[in-house]
Amino acid sequence: MSDVVVVSAGIAGGHDGVARELARRMRRQGLSVDILDLIDLLPAMIGPLARNLYRTQLRAAPRTWAWTYESFDRPRPSRLAEAMVSLAGRALSCAVDPDARLVVSTYPLAGQALGRLRERGDLRMPAVAYLTDMSVHRLWVARGVDTHLAIHTAPADAAARLGAEQVRVAAPAVRRNARPLSASARAAVRARFGLPTDRRLAVITGGSWGVGELAATVTDVRASGQAEPVVVCGDNPRLAVQVRAAGATHVLGWVGDLPALIAAADVVLQNAGGLTSLEAFAARVPVISYRCVPGHGLANSHVLATEGLAPLATSPDDLARLLAELVATPAAVESLFDAPDPAEFLLTLATAPVPAPGRPASPTTPPVAVRAEAPVGRA
């Protein structure tokens, strides 16, 4: 029997990364934790097929992903979304340990499924939807879950406006090695990756799948003369060929210790606004959003800019200016990690009396006060 079940999805790396870190922290608190991958649980190879379609969309036809993403914000979910939630619910009703004391989702489809199981009384333990993103669409907000746990007041406010109840804010669940480095440690990390210690380095990343206009970003960074690009291509060897053709000399594939590489950089250029950005903030390395992936990438990056966490460069000239000016993380980054540890909140829920189905677990922190929606700029 496990005390806690965390439900993630092996789609790109962000949802799994957060799930693993939450599990590590809760295990350190003495809880036993299982992690389930919803992709593996869906029947008839539906999960892997959906993952491959999503990866193909992002790499070959990103605009089509933007249309799909926009459909998530419709008041009525699409038939496809309804079917997927139904399938996920059936799978999770069999996979979640019935004797667990808490279940946590880090993926919106899983949160929807858990909420419906909880509403129907098929899930006896409290359910928490952990919002991994800075932007929140309707699929993130799940009726029936006991708590929505957000990484910042902006997604918390957005979730509350969309009808979420019992919304709480906790610090982002970044890996423990996502932290500032001393000068000597930075030099050692650079040496380990074969990088120069006497030049200003800009780490350019497109996530674990290596998606986005990274070759064009390399061209723009080199033209600025403000930094030397270091490109992380993830599991995309074709991207490595493209960025080398664009003039990048420091090209990496899959990097297991990405937080250390980020902490050794002078600036990070990202296009999705996900876990990489949060780990850069934790290391106090400035972040610039540039040539963002349509859909979640642009939405997240708009929120980062609106909240004063990371500027959004809208042109090569704008990028060159920001590379020249941005030498430290904005003040807003400091408060990001002042919020409570999410594992402390989850520990409290996991050790409290189990509430009845359909009744929210007792909160340990006050709910957020909803702010008026801030205007969002355009790229």
Asked if residue 368 belongs to a domain, the reply is: no
CA distances 261 to 31, 185, 255, 289, Å, are: 31, 11, 8, 18
Q: Residue 165: enclosing H or E segment and its boundaries?
A: none
- Percent of the chain at pLDDT > 90 equals 80
Shared domain for 75 and 202, answered yes or no, is: no
- Are 31 and 94 found together in one domain? yes
Structural domain includes residue 359: no
Same domain? 42 vs 161: yes
Arithmetic mean of pLDDT, 332-336? 92
Question: Is the Cβ–Cβ distance between 38 and 109 less than 8 Å?
Answer: yes
Do residues 38 and 187 share a domain?
Answer: no
What integer pLDDT is reported at residue 357 of this predicted model? 57
Q: What's the mean pLDDT in 353-372?
A: 56
Predicted local distance difference test score (pLDDT) of residue 12: 81
Give Cα separations from 142 to 105, 131, 159, 178, 366 (angstroms): 11, 11, 10, 30, 19
Distance separating alpha carbons of residues 332 and 337, to the nearest angstrom: 10
Q: Residue 46's pLDDT is what?
A: 94
Structure tokens at 283: 């290391």
Name the percent of the chain lying above pLDDT 70: 93
Instruction: Please tell me the predicted confidence (pLDDT) of residue 378.
Output: 32
pLDDT tens digits, 278-333: 999 999 999 999 999 999 999 999 999 999 999 999 999 999 999 999 988 898 99
User: Is residue 156 located within the same domain as residue 28?
Assistant: yes
* pLDDT tens string 201-239: 999 999 999 999 999 999 999 999 999 999 999 999 999
373, part of any domain: no
Helices in 209-327 by DSSP H: which ranges? 214-224, 237-245, 258-263, 275-282, 296-306, 316-325
pLDDT of residue 185: 98
CATH number at residue 63: 3.40.50
Distance CA 187, CA 183 (A): 6
190 assigned to some structural domain: yes
> Which pLDDT score is estimated for 66?
83
361 band by pLDDT with thresholds 50, 70 and 90: low
Are 159 and 12 contained in the same domain?
A: yes
Looking at the predicted structure, is the pLDDT value of residue 171 above 80? yes
Which CATH number fits the domain that encloses residue 294?
A: 3.40.50.2000
| Residue 23 · residue 2 · CB < 8 Å | no
Instruction: Please tell me the pTM assigned to this model.
Output: 0.91
Residues 262 and 164 grouped into a single domain: no
DSSP state, 194? T
Q: Exposed, middle or buried: residue 99 (CB in 10 Å: 0-12, 13-18, 19+)?
A: exposed
Identify whether 370 is part of a domain. no
Q: Residue 132: its pLDDT value, please?
A: 96
Statement to judge: residues 221 and 110 lie in one domain: no
Stretch among 77-81, 144-148, 338-342 having the lowest mean pLDDT:
77-81
169 touches 156 (CB < 8 A): yes
Where b means 16+ CB within 10 Å and e means fewer, 131-170 reads bbbbbbbbbbbbebbbbbbbbbbbbbbbbbebebebbbbb
Tell me the average pLDDT of the chain: 92
For residues 27 and 140, membership in a common domain is answered with yes
pLDDT at 200: 97
Instruction: Kindly tell me if the per-residue pLDDT of 372 is higher than 50.
Output: no
Domain membership of residue 133 (yes or no) is yes
Answer for the pair 247, 227: CB distance below 8 angstroms, yes or no: no
Find the mean pLDDT for residues 361-371. 52
Residues 138 and 275 in one domain: no
Whether residue 364 lies inside any domain: the answer is no
7-62 pLDDT, tens digit per residue, is: 999 988 899 999 999 999 999 999 999 999 999 999 989 999 999 999 998 898 88
**In the chain, which residue ranges form alpha helices assigned H by DSSP?**
14-28, 38-41, 46-60, 62-71, 79-95, 108-120, 153-161, 183-192, 214-224, 237-245, 258-263, 275-282, 296-306, 316-325, 332-336, 342-351
Do 139 and 256 fall into the same domain? no
Structural domains in the chain (count)? 2
- Domain co-membership, 11 together with 134: yes
pLDDT recorded at residue 375: 36
Q: Are 219 and 290 contacting, i.e. CB atoms less than 8 angstroms apart?
A: no
Task: Give yes or no for a contact between 201 and 228, defined as CB atoms under 8 angstroms apart.
Answer: yes
Is 96 or 361 the better-scoring residue by pLDDT? 96
| Domain of residue 314, residue span | 183-334
The residue whose two tokens read 């080398």 is: 244
Would you say residue 35 lies in a domain? yes
**For residues 261 and 194, is the Cβ–Cβ distance under 8 A?**
no
